[in-house]
C-alpha cells in the first residue's frame, strides 16, 4: 500500500477532504495531512488527526512535538504520492513560481520525482484568470498532474467551472492501478567495459529516465524488475539486479525476458568492448595506446529472435544528429513495437538531466512528439503508449 500526503489549502471545499481520507484508509493506504493556516479556518486539524491517527502538520517551525524533524523535508521523503486538494489560486501561483512561505509551499520545493496531484477549487473568474491559467500550464509542463475542476454552483453563488471534484473521483485518480497484472522488465544506466583493473569505457547515462519509468509503473500498480548499470540512484523501491558490462546485461535480459509482458530498454549499452582486458594496470609508457575493440551483442536485436507476438518491446535511441532516420532504422531492424528518440547533444535534456524532450515512433508509422518536460511525465507517456499496444495485441 502507498503513503499518501494530502495538503489542504484555504478553500471551503476543504470539507470534502475527510471523506477522501476515509476512502484511502479504507483501501489500506497510509495518510498524513498538512494544512495551510487558512485551511484551519475552514476545518479543524483535529478532524484529520482523528481520521488518520497521525499528527496534522501546519507550522513548519513547530518543534515541540518532533524537535529533531524538519517537517517539509521529512513529509516528502515519507510520501509515495502527494495530493493538494483543494488547491487555491494563491497556492497554485506560489508552487508555479517557487515560493515557499508556508509548510505546503515549502514542501513543494523539496519534491523531485514523486507524483503530485493538484485539484484546483476557486471562483470561476479566478480560475479563468490568465495568470492562473498560465501558472497551471507551467505546472503541467514541469510534470505536476493538474486536474480540471467541476462545473456547477459555487459557494459564491455563481455558476461555472471551479468546484472541487468529488472525493470518490479524486480517489479513483490517485489510486489508479491500470497497470495491475502487467509485468515490466526495465533496463537503465550505462554499461562499463573494462580496459584493465582500474579503467573502463563507458558513457554519460545517469539512469534517470529508466528510473522514472520504473517508478511510474510501480505508482500505477504494475510489476517491475530493473536491470541496472552502475548508477547513483536508490533502487530499493524496486526488485532489481545490478550489472557492469554489456555482456552481463545481455545475459540478464535474455534469461528473464520470457517472463515479462513489456521490455523497456532505456539502458545505454556499449556497442564495443575491449578484446583483451589486461589483468594488470596498464602503465603510461608510449605517447599512444591502442585498444582493439570487438562488437557486443545487440540486445534488442537478439530479443527480437525470441519475442512472442503478444510481448511488447520498447527501445530508446540517444542520438546527436539525423534523429528520425536513425530512429526508424533501429525500429525496423530490431523489430521493435516503438522507439523513443532524444537528442543527447543538448545539455538541458537527456544524459544526467531531470527533463527530457522526445519523439515516440510507432511500428505503424505514427509518431508522438513530447515537448520538454520532467522525465516522470515523459515516463507516463512512454508507459501508457506501450500499455495500449499490449492491450491491442492481447484483445
Identify the structural domains of the chain with CATH numbers, from first to last: 3-174 (3.40.50.1950), 183-393 (3.40.50.10300)
C-alpha cell, 226: 530493473
- Spatial distance between the Cα atoms of 302 and 306, rounded to a whole number of angstroms: 7
β pairing state of 116-120 and 367-374: unpaired
The pLDDT of residue 315 is above 70: yes
The pLDDT of residue 221 is above 90: no
pLDDT band of residue 279 (cuts 50, 70, 90) is very high
- Note the pLDDT of residue 112: 81
- Spatial distance between the Cα atoms of 2 and 152, rounded to a whole number of angstroms: 32
Kindly tell me the sign of the dihedral angle through the C-alpha atoms of 248, 113, 381, 260. positive
Residues labelled as active-site residues: 156
The pLDDT of residue 65 is above 90: no
The pLDDT of residue 216 is above 80: yes
Q: Which of 58, 16, 52 is nearest to 35 (CA)?
A: 58
In this prediction, residues 133-153 reach a mean pLDDT of: 88
Give the three-state DSSP class for 135: helix
- Note the pLDDT of residue 156: 66
Give the three-state DSSP class for 174: helix
- Note the pLDDT of residue 66: 52
Residues contacting 278, CB < 8 A, separation 6+: 195, 196, 197
The pLDDT of residue 63 is above 50: no
The full 3-state SS of 213-277, as one line of letters, equals HHHHHHHCCCEEEEEECCCCCCCCCCEEEECCCHHHHHHHHHHHHHHCCEEEECCECCCEEECCC
Please tell me which of 35-39, 145-149, 361-365, 391-395 the model is most confident about, judged by mean pLDDT: 35-39
The pLDDT of residue 69 is above 70: no
In this predicted model, what pLDDT tens digit does every residue of 161-174 receive, in sequence order?
888 999 999 998 89
The pLDDT of residue 352 is above 50: yes
Is this prediction's pTM over 0.85? no
pLDDT band of residue 295 (cuts 50, 70, 90) is very high
Kindly write down the DSSP assignment for every residue of 306-338, as one continuous string: H--TT-EEEEEEEESS-HHHHHHHHHHHTT-SE
The pLDDT of residue 283 is above 70: yes
Average pLDDT over the chain, rounded to whole?
91
- Spatial distance between the Cα atoms of 116 and 213, rounded to a whole number of angstroms: 16
- Note the pLDDT of residue 371: 85
98 contacts 109 by C-beta, under 8 angstroms:
yes
Kindly write down the DSSP assignment for every residue of 355-376, as one continuous string: EEEEEEEETTS-EEEEEEEEHH
Give the three-state DSSP class for 354: coil
With b for 16 or more beta-carbon neighbours within 10 A and e for fewer, the 45-72 pattern comes to bebbeebbeebbbbebeeeeeeeeeebb
- Note the pLDDT of residue 214: 96
- Note the pLDDT of residue 106: 93
The pLDDT of residue 259 is above 80: yes
- Give the helix/strand (H/E) hosting 150: strand 150-153
In this prediction, residues 243-261 reach a mean pLDDT of: 97
β pairing state of 159-163 and 199-201: unpaired
In this predicted model, what pLDDT tens digit does every residue of 93-103 receive, in sequence order?
999 999 999 99
- Note the pLDDT of residue 155: 66
pLDDT band of residue 60 (cuts 50, 70, 90) is low
147 contacts 117 by C-beta, under 8 angstroms:
yes
Amino acid at each position: 500500500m502507498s503513503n499518501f500526503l494530502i495538503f489542504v489549502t484555504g478553500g471551503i471545499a476543504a470539507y470534502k477532504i475527510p471523506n477522501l481520507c476515509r476512502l484511502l484508509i479504507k483501501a489500506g493506504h497510509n495518510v498524513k495531512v498538512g494544512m495551510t493556516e487558512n485551511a484551519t479556518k475552514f476545518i479543524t486539524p483535529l478532524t484529520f488527526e482523528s481520521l488518520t491517527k497521525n499528527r496534522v502538520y501546519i507550522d513548519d517551525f513547530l518543534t515541540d512535538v518532533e524537535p529533531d524533524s524538519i517537517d517539509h523535508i521529512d513529509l516528502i521523503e515519507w510520501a509515495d504520492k502527494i495530493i493538494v486538494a483543494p488547491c487555491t489560486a494563491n497556492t497554485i501561483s506560489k508552487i508555479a513560481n517557487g515560493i515557499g512561505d508556508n509548510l505546503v509551499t515549502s514542501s513543494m520545493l523539496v519534491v523531485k520525482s514523486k507524483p503530485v496531484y493538484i485539484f484546483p477549487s476557486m471562483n470561476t473568474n479566478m480560475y479563468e484568470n490568465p495568470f492562473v491559467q498560465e501558472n497551471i500550464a507551467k505546472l503541467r509542463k514541469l510534470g505536476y498532474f493538474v486536474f480540471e475542476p467541476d462545473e456547477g454552483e459555487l459557494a459564491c453563488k455563481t455558476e461555472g467551472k471551479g468546484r472541487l471534484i468529488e472525493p470518490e473521483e479524486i480517489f479513483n485518480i490517485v489510486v489508479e492501478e491500470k497497470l495491475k497484472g502487467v509485468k515490466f522488465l526495465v533496463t537503465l544506466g550505462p554499461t562499463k567495459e573494462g580496459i584493465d583493473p582500474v579503467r573502463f569505457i563507458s558513457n554519460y547515462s545517469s539512469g534517470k529516465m529508466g528510473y522514472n519509468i520504473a517508478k511510474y509503473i510501480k505508482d500505477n500498480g504494475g510489476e517491475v524488475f530493473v536491470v541496472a548499470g552502475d548508477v547513483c540512484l536508490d533502487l530499493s523501491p524496486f526488485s532489481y539486479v545490478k550489472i557492469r558490462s554489456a555482456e552481463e546485461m545481455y545475459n540478464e535480459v535474455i534469461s528473464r525476458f520470457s517472463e515479462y509482458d513489456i521490455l523497456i530498454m532505456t539502458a545505454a549499452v556499449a556497442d564495443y568492448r575491449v578484446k583483451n582486458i589486461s589483468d594488470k594496470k596498464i602503465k603510461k609508457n608510449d605517447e599512444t595506446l591502442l585498444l582493439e575493440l570487438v562488437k557486443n551483442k545487440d540486445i534488442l536485436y537478439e530479443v527480437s529472435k525470441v519475442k512472442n507476438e503478444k510481448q511488447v518491446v520498447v527501445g530508446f535511441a540517444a542520438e546527436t544528429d539525423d534523429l528520425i532516420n536513425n530512429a526508424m532504422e533501429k525500429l525496423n531492424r530490431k523489430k521493435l513495437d516503438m522507439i523513443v528518440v532524444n537528442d543527447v547533444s543538448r545539455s538541458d535534456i537527456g544524459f544526467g538531466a531531470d527533463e527530457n524532450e522526445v519523439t515516440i515512433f510507432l511500428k505503424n508509422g505514427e509518431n508522438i512528439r513530447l515537448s520538454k518536460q520532467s522525465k516522470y511525465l515523459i515516463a507516463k507517456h512512454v508507459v501508457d503508449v506501450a500499455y495500449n499496444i499490449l492491450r491491442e495485441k492481447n484483445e
